[in-house]
A and B are shown apart, each in its own frame.
Chain A
């Protein structure tokens, strides 16, 4: 087979244009220019450039995998990689040309010609399907007119506004600077460099297909570790700052970016480690499996002790800024574990989880505040209110569960979504304003005091969250292995059969909602004490969505998965604050990618992994 094969050609063109569209899109929303501000390796590559190069690399590799699997020759596989690299630059190059003064006429002409070209292409397709001549002409005219209206309006807009930039605000100098690899002055040269770099990236990507599995994995591992450390240079530096001499640190970093030799060293070291892991990791795991019960338990025990020790020392290891992030992550772990009771165990899709968070936060705020809205002014301490917040949230969970008990699936989700909104509106309402301050919220919430010390730093608050998380985790594991937990799973699997087993489903669901709400209340209370004030706009539907997403990304019903999900979905965005404009865009992209490539979540439970594998097997058996 060769490149002339239409299927191969089609696959390459599709992937190439997809990659190109991605680059164009990220550029047009301003991501590439924003990412350019952050250097990955000092004086070598920025995050923006990295996006430009890694995209054709990944698509080149994907294409090579796909083509190689169908038995294409190495020439066409690697040729495909190069073509993908070039196609990646195509849309961006066109936009660059349209944007320049010299080639502006290209845009005008393409806008004029587009209706005819596209209409003819459509007509040609129809013609090959033996459509009648009359219909053919009709559809040609229709397509030409419809597309003509669009392009004509576009042309008009550009005519009036003069520059592309006035319509596409992010197609500006900064963007041109990045995509031409600093050759803004000499556009042709810039396009050449860009295309060459992208073609090389696609080429290297497709080449990777021919590297044997173990070294390839080592390489990918080394590369991703280095690039991640580079991209999160600021964070890594903050961590190292707590533990390294200033001079050593300055040798590794120049301000917040990795120095070139440090990056090279890291690349080598992590690749070697990656190689060892790829080569011997399976054997090590096998060895662990083969250990006797006693030994295995000891090993696991040591692992757990080490893990807990790290958790206990974390604030010292990572410093203040990151401890603050850790506290936020912890709060979401807490909520994730709680919501998981409803969603993961009982299969009740609750989209109003923010309710419990808000109830906990406002209870703590009103009961401990020393400001004008405080009810008790200092009589209640943080520690006394935490159980009250927990009970109040449970009560709220119970009350909201009663009317929706008979609902299932989608209907339940929508009803709970409604409750979440109601709480938001209540918090901001005039009706409750005398009590909880309306839009102004409640201020002057004192910090928790522990043995005479005011816990005002995130390093200290971290321990409160840690204890809460560990307790919840313990309860959650116990629930998982109890009849109560299994009764929920039975309802999740089949409500009718569960009833036929003698399970009182109404009671079980109420219990699930009530227990699920508890941790939300605690998280809300800690949040209120941490921030020192409570505002209604902290309690939007996004909290519910965030908690739900982290459960799904981590792996539904999987406790370790929830922790990892919280780190990825809550931690990473906190570390990428400067790009917060793109937060939800990336968030959405991540969710879509996850659902396509790893629907079982990052750390799925045993049974889900099993099911996925069974699904794949069934597909293979069906010849799909």
Chain B
């Protein structure tokens, strides 16, 4: 059974119909890419799944439970963790404190081990753990945002545009990391404008267009698809 099952969701910003019946599935252990242009509804989809927005219609099932419209802060302890768009690190908190906020829902002894785990994944963060997050470079902040999301020990990681505003070299690094996180057994839902990179690491992909799923296929097939190539990969 799918870990996440999104069925016909409709989400609105006031009167603006942002998601017009989006459905997709994410199986355990997969990387799923949601690609599409600006305003296609990618971020809104993530916000709806994570509980920051409520769908007016349709359901979101996570691990068999209906979580549509559930409170965002409660979903974190169920194992859904989000890396927000634009990174959203707490600028005036240190790296260490940011990571502690990531583990906010937890009181268990495992926090220490997970801290070691993310420091192993991102050695740079350990060097800078006393530094204020706002004073780090964009790449480091992205690492921190991902590390912070991992601190809640998630089963499903929602990644919103991790490549946004990063230099190409750093983008490679970020996608490598995403792959490694997948290999540790975390399921990943990746929202990206950089379709090229996203499809390289994803298992399957969905193409969103004005709030609807326009295409869905395996990542390999999508990369070969003529429309996708023209519109999102810049290949003529």
A residues engaging B (CB < 8 A)? Answer: 483, 486-487, 489-490, 492-494, 496-505, 607, 610-611, 614
Decide yes or no: A493 and B90 within 8 Å by CB, A501-B101, A502-B104 being known contacts: yes
Quick one: which of A490, A499, A610, A611 contacts B93, CB cutoff 8 A?
A: A490
Closest beta carbon of chain B to A477's beta carbon, Å: 15
User: What are the interface flags for B41-61 relative to A under an 8 Å C-beta threshold, 1 for contact and 0 otherwise?
Assistant: 000000000111000000000
Quick one: which of B73, B82, B88, B90 contacts A504, CB cutoff 8 A?
A: B73
Residues of A within 8 A of B76 (CB): 500-502
Q: Is the CB of B72 within 8 A of A499?
A: yes
Residues of B within 8 A of A489 (CB): 90, 92-93, 97
Residues of A within 8 A of B82 (CB): 500
Q: Is the CB of B104 within 8 A of A497?
A: no
20 residue pairs from A and B, CB less than 8 Å apart: A486-B97, A487-B101, A489-B93, A492-B92, A493-B90, A493-B91, A493-B92, A496-B88, A497-B84, A498-B101, A499-B72, A500-B84, A501-B76, A501-B102, A502-B104, A503-B104, A504-B71, A505-B73, A607-B92, A611-B134
Q: Is the CB of B52 within 8 A of A499?
A: yes
Quick one: which of A487, A607, A610, A614 contacts B104, CB cutoff 8 A?
A: A487
Closest beta carbon of chain A to B27's beta carbon, Å: 23
CA distance A236 to B58 in the complex (A): 75
Residues of A within 8 A of B92 (CB): 489, 492-493, 607, 611
B175 on interface, CB distance cutoff 8 Å: no
Q: Which residue of A lies closest to B84 (CB)?
A: A497
Decide yes or no: A502 and B105 within 8 Å by CB, A486-B97, A486-B100 being known contacts: yes
Closest beta carbon of chain A to B47's beta carbon, Å: 8
Residues of B within 8 A of A503 (CB): 73, 101, 104
CA distance A490 to B152 in the complex (A): 16
Closest 5 CB pairs of A and B: A502-B76, A502-B105, A497-B88, A493-B90, A499-B72
Closest beta carbon of chain B to A45's beta carbon, Å: 46
Give the total of B residues in contact with A, Cβ under 8 Å: 28
B77 on interface, CB distance cutoff 8 Å: yes
B225 on interface, CB distance cutoff 8 Å: no
Residues of B within 8 A of A505 (CB): 73
Q: Which residue of A lies closest to B50 (CB)?
A: A500
Residues of A within 8 A of B152 (CB): 501-502
CA distance A504 to B77 in the complex (A): 12
Q: Is the CB of B73 within 8 A of A490?
A: no
Closest beta carbon of chain A to B207's beta carbon, Å: 25
Residues of B within 8 A of A614 (CB): 135
Residues of A within 8 A of B93 (CB): 486, 489-490, 493
B155 on interface, CB distance cutoff 8 Å: no
Quick one: which of B50, B81, B88, B100 contacts A494, CB cutoff 8 A?
A: B88
B122 on interface, CB distance cutoff 8 Å: no
CA distance A580 to B51 in the complex (A): 55
Quick one: which of A490, A500, A607 contacts B72, CB cutoff 8 A?
A: A500
B residues engaging A (CB < 8 A)? Answer: 50-52, 71-74, 76-77, 81-82, 84, 88, 90-93, 97, 100-102, 104-105, 132, 134-135, 148, 152
Q: Which residue of A lies closest to B72 (CB)?
A: A499
Residues of B within 8 A of A493 (CB): 90-93
CA distance A54 to B202 in the complex (A): 70
| Chain A contact surface mostly | helix
CA distance A503 to B92 in the complex (A): 17
Q: Is the CB of A607 within 8 A of B132?
A: yes
Residues of B within 8 A of A490 (CB): 90, 93, 101
CA distance A502 to B73 in the complex (A): 4
Closest beta carbon of chain A to B46's beta carbon, Å: 10
CA distance A384 to B77 in the complex (A): 42
Closest beta carbon of chain B to A599's beta carbon, Å: 15
Closest beta carbon of chain A to B72's beta carbon, Å: 5
CA distance A270 to B132 in the complex (A): 39
CA distance A274 to B132 in the complex (A): 34
Q: Is the CB of B101 within 8 A of A494?
A: no
Q: Is the CB of B100 within 8 A of A502?
A: no
Q: Is the CB of B132 within 8 A of A501?
A: no
Closest beta carbon of chain A to B106's beta carbon, Å: 9
CA distance A499 to B90 in the complex (A): 13
Residues of A within 8 A of B102 (CB): 501
Quick one: which of B52, B90, B91, B104 contacts A496, CB cutoff 8 A?
A: B52
CA distance A486 to B148 in the complex (A): 14
Closest beta carbon of chain A to B204's beta carbon, Å: 25
Residues of B within 8 A of A496 (CB): 52, 84, 88
Residues of A within 8 A of B72 (CB): 499-500
Q: Is the CB of A610 within 8 A of B135?
A: yes
Closest beta carbon of chain A to B147's beta carbon, Å: 13
Q: Is the CB of A483 within 8 A of B77?
A: no
Residues of B within 8 A of A501 (CB): 73, 76, 101-102, 104-105, 148, 152
Residues of B within 8 A of A607 (CB): 92, 132, 134
CA distance A490 to B104 in the complex (A): 11
CA distance A222 to B16 in the complex (A): 66
Task: Find the residue from B74, B81, B104, B105 having the highest chain A CB count within 10 A.
Answer: B104
Q: Which residue of B lies closest to A611 (CB)?
A: B134
CA distance A306 to B91 in the complex (A): 36
Residues of B within 8 A of A497 (CB): 84, 88, 90
Q: Which residue of B lies closest to A613 (CB)?
A: B135
Q: Which residue of B lies closest to A481 (CB)?
A: B97
Residues of B within 8 A of A499 (CB): 51-52, 72-73
Residues of B within 8 A of A610 (CB): 132, 135
Decide yes or no: A494 and B134 within 8 Å by CB, A486-B97, A499-B73, A502-B105 being known contacts: no
Closest beta carbon of chain B to A256's beta carbon, Å: 46
Q: Which residue of B lies closest to A508 (CB)?
A: B73
CA distance A193 to B92 in the complex (A): 55
Closest beta carbon of chain A to B94's beta carbon, Å: 9
CA distance A443 to B30 in the complex (A): 73
Task: Find the residue from A493, A496, A499, A500 having the highest chain B CB count within 10 A.
Answer: A500
Closest beta carbon of chain A to B217's beta carbon, Å: 30
Residues of A within 8 A of B148 (CB): 501
CA distance A593 to B121 in the complex (A): 48
Residues of B within 8 A of A492 (CB): 92
Residues of A within 8 A of B50 (CB): 500
Q: Which residue of B lies closest to A494 (CB)?
A: B88
Q: Is the CB of B84 within 8 A of A483?
A: no
CA distance A342 to B181 in the complex (A): 38
CA distance A490 to B101 in the complex (A): 8
CA distance A19 to B188 in the complex (A): 64
Task: Find the residue from A486, A499, A502 having the highest chain B CB count within 10 A.
Answer: A502
Closest beta carbon of chain B to A614's beta carbon, Å: 7
Residues of A within 8 A of B100 (CB): 483, 486
Q: Which residue of B lies closest to A606 (CB)?
A: B132
Residues of A within 8 A of B84 (CB): 494, 496-497, 500
CA distance A347 to B209 in the complex (A): 38
CA distance A607 to B102 in the complex (A): 21
CA distance A486 to B74 in the complex (A): 19
Closest beta carbon of chain B to A72's beta carbon, Å: 37
Task: Find the residue from A490, A494, A614 having the highest chain B CB count within 10 A.
Answer: A490
Q: Which residue of A lies closest to B83 (CB)?
A: A500
CA distance A145 to B62 in the complex (A): 75
Closest beta carbon of chain B to A181's beta carbon, Å: 52
Q: Is the CB of A494 within 8 A of B105?
A: no
